[in-house]
């Protein structure tokens, strides 16, 4: 499962979610304000690995390694 930790006012969070949707990647949006261990957003969690920021190359690589990139 892919989780994207966001806040309502984070433009990068919404850009990340739009990008994932455009690539056909399913994810669950999580409220970052309810997590004590998240201090920056967006955070993408893929099979337990967390990527901070809208880092397309890192997200793509992790998705490929998990067999989730089409």
Domains for the chain: give ranges and CATH numbers: 2-65 (3.40.30.10)
Provide the pLDDT for residue 1. Answer: 86
Provide the pLDDT for residue 70. Answer: 75
Does pTM surpass 0.75? yes
pLDDT band at 17 (very low <50, low <70, confident <90, very high): very high
Hey, what are 13's tokens? Answer: 């969070």
pLDDT tens digits, one per residue of 41-58: 999 999 999 999 999 999
β-bridge partners, 50: 45
CA atoms within 13 A on the CB side of 62: 18
Provide the pLDDT for residue 59. Answer: 98
* Residue percentage of the chain with pLDDT more than 70: 100
């Amino acid at each position: 499962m892919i989780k994207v930790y966001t806040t309502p006012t984070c433009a990068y969070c919404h850009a990340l979610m739009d990008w994932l949707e455009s690539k056909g990647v399913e994810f669950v949006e999580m409220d970052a304000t309810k997590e004590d261990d998240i201090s920056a957003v967006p955070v993408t969690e893929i099979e337990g690995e967390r990527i901070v920021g809208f880092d397309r190359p890192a997200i793509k690589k992790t998705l490929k390694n998990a067999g989730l990139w089409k």
